Amino acid sequence: MQLFFQKIGEGPVLIILHGLYGCSDNWISIARKLSGTFTIYMVDQRNHGRSPHHAEHTYNAMAEDLNELFITENITKASIIGHSMGGKTAMLFAALFPAKVEKLIVVDIGPGGYANIDNHSLQILAHLNIAQSMLSINFEAFTSRVQIDKELAKTVTDVNIRQFLMKNVHRNHDNSFCWKLNIDAISKSMPAIMGSISLKDIVNESVTETYPSLFIKGEKSDYINSDQKLLINKYFPRAKIETINGAGHWVHAEQPEEFIETVYSFLTGFYN
């Protein structure tokens, strides 16, 4: 699948992969700060932003989409930043195509799953609520974004999350509204999205790292918990894990300056 991307800057290639419900636009301010040093590709993953929609939404498919980008853009090697869902795509891509990865940065996610949907983990419940809320919006009943926001507020009470979701509201040529992302495919694929990536099936219980890896955890987030740290240490034994204070799951949005400093230092500095 040919993905939509935005490209800015000069220098070594840096690819940024957004998380669930996100898009390349979410990373423009971060990319601008790094564009003096890197050629940056901000990518819309499948079923998000301006990339094509498809019924299949798996990490294998998303990793292959990324590889197609490398091929069509003649990228031989790049550093990759992946947040949440994008982090899992990045990890799997790095396992499948290690020679194409210069450095790997994974933001607030681990390689393991976040419980079976039937177990109702906090992460699962939050994403199920968001998906159901988005599916329940009847756009024909609304003539303004304010009305849509008020309806969404009935089930998505967190203002920051709701503002983030509202960036996916698209106005058609006939002035009607729709979701920019493919929420139907995403909701049906939630078990796969929240599940683990099968690194052990690729690397026989161990990743032979040919690239440095950094995992960035938000202090207030529980996505990289003790179980996930064990898996990170297992599959990425040379990886650094750094915590950004005051940040939750959306580390780059909540603490952008510290995030940029951490990323820039890792990408440009010497790695032991």
Q: Is 84 a catalytic residue?
A: yes
4 burial (CB, 10 Å; 0-12 / 13-18 / 19+) is middle
Burial class (CB in 10 A: 0-12, 13-18, 19+), 264: middle
CA distance 185 to 196: 18
Residue 268 host element (H or E): helix 256-268
* CB-based contact 249:84 (threshold 8 Å): yes
- Could you tell me the two tokens for 95? 């396992």
Helix axes 59-72, 85-96, angle to 10 degrees: 70
Say which residues have a Cβ less than 8 Å from residue 106's Cβ, sequence separation at least 6.
82, 87, 90, 91, 213, 214, 215, 216
Running DSSP on this structure, what letter comes out for residue 246?
A: T
Among 51, 84, 189, 221, the active-site one is 84
Instruction: Say which amino acid occupies 251.
Output: V
Known catalytic membership, residue 249: yes
**Catalytic residue numbers?**
84, 249
